[in-house]
Amino acid sequence: MTKKKVILIDHDLSCLEFMQIMMSELDFETFPFTAWESRTIQDIISIRPDLIILDQWLVGAKASDICMILKSVNQLRSVPIVLASESDDLEQVARKSLADGYIAKPYNMSEIEKMVRWFDESVRN
């Protein structure tokens, strides 16, 4: 069976490494990015991810803005995008940016597993 692919974008290396470990344990192939650059959209399109997890506060960009850009790209429109942040208004930010979900930082395994179960169910439906 082919592993599902997840794009992880987070400037914080410790958070990125933690998510890589957790998503690998949940049988995802991970593709980490530490920054948003001009070629990142093309890289994401070529990977053909099944899920994208974006940290809200990236250097030079906000995930909420990136999410709206990704949702406007035909090849990525149907890919679920989850925003991650410590922000108190994360739910509202996710809704306004067209994100499919959100997960609060600091991460914990049970929340990550819950998110992955949601993802698996939404893909099957």
Q: Which residues pair with 67 in a beta bridge?
A: none
Instruction: Assess whether pLDDT exceeds 70 at residue 96.
Output: yes
The mean pLDDT value of the chain amounts to 88
- Per-residue model confidence (pLDDT) at position 123: 60
Q: What is the dihedral of CA 95, 100, 104, 107, to 10 degrees?
A: -170
Domains of the chain, CATH where assigned: 4-124 (3.40.50.2300)
Q: What is the pLDDT of residues 28-87, one digit of tens each?
A: 999 999 988 889 999 999 999 999 999 988 877 888 899 999 999 999 999 999 999 888
* Contacts with 70 (C-beta within 8 Å, 6 or more apart), sequence order: 41, 44, 52, 76, 79, 81
**Residue 65: closest CA among 100, 107, 94:** 94
- Give the pairing of strands 81-85 and 101-104: parallel
* pTM, 2 dp: 0.90
